[in-house]
Amino acid sequence: MPSSVGELENLLGYRFKDISLLERAVTHRSWAYENARATNGKDQRPDQNETLEFVGDSVLGLAVAEQLYTRNPERSEGDLTLMKHRLVSSDTLAEISRALGLGDFVRLGRGEEKSGGRERRTVLANALEAVIGAVFFDGGYISARALVNKLFAESLREVTPSTSVDYKTLLQETLQAQKRKAPVYNLVRTEGPSHDRRFWVEAIWDTGSATGTGVSIKSAEMEAASAAIELLNSKDSEQS
């Protein structure tokens, strides 16, 4: 069973004046459909989170753009756009949702639950946007911006134009174009204390490997993929 919205309020660090907004934000359409009730011959479904998600997406985009501009006033529009796209991507949203434990609070229908919906990227990303939208309607933009700044603090510190390029996808597409299997990523080693840790990851494919390092496993994988692409491109140049 999902955890209580009161627990979620504590994790968010925000107390709702209208708790029904938060309840709606964590209600997936599958749960709303299963809990519809017939009233005067018509199905009355509980509110679900898709419209809050729509608003939350826009609020998130504005808050992230504001932070990026404030933190990187010297960056070009292209660099800021690249970083923004990375921060508001479904991958980043799902990652932050998992760290928050948001999946434990989402109300899902039985079918969605059985099919692994509580860990599904789209479910987690959409729920986070809906929560941001709920905070916006309950407390205004300042409250929603404060929540975004809190939840995205680490991502905002780490993001750069180079880390915003999805090298893992580019590597996979490059190998697929050459009729090769997708790469495998292995954690080679970890060094440093918990507050200042570095990770080394190796990207391996059928004809080679490359290593990357970073302050997180994710960033180390990106570096390894970037190095792999450079290696593949250099081999292609030698053969041409």
Candidates 53, 95, 112, 129; catalytic one: 129
Yes or no: domain 166-239 corresponds to CATH 3.30.160.20: yes
- Fold assignment, 5-159: Ribonuclease iii, N-terminal Endonuclease Domain; Chain A (1.10.1520)
pLDDT of residue 35: 83
Which pTM was predicted?
0.71
Candidates 47, 57, 79, 91; catalytic one: 57
Tell me if 176 sits within 8 A of 184, measured CB to CB. no
Reading the chain (240 residues) residue by residue, the pLDDT tens digits are 466 889 999 999 999 999 999 999 999 999 888 887 644 445 556 688 999 999 999 999 999 999 999 999 999 998 898 899 889 988 899 999 999 999 999 999 998 888 888 888 899 999 999 999 999 999 999 999 999 999 999 999 989 887 787 888 889 988 998 889 999 999 999 998 877 889 999 999 998 999 999 888 888 898 899 899 988 887 665 565
Ranges of each domain in the chain? 5-159, 166-239
* 129 annotated active-site: yes
Taking the C-alpha atoms of residue 214 and residue 187, their distance in angstroms, rounded to an integer, is 11
Taking the C-alpha atoms of residue 84 and residue 67, their distance in angstroms, rounded to an integer, is 10
185 φ/ψ angles, rounded to the nearest 5 degrees: -110, 125
Classify 42 as helix, strand or coil. Answer: strand
pLDDT of residue 88: 93
Point out which residues pair with 201 in neighbouring strands: 187, 212
Task: Give the CA diameter of the chain.
Answer: 75
Q: Are β-strands 198-205 and 208-214 bridged in parallel, bridged antiparallel, or unpaired?
A: antiparallel
**Which residues have CB under 8 Å from 204's CB, separation 6+?**
183, 184, 185, 186
* 57 annotated active-site: yes
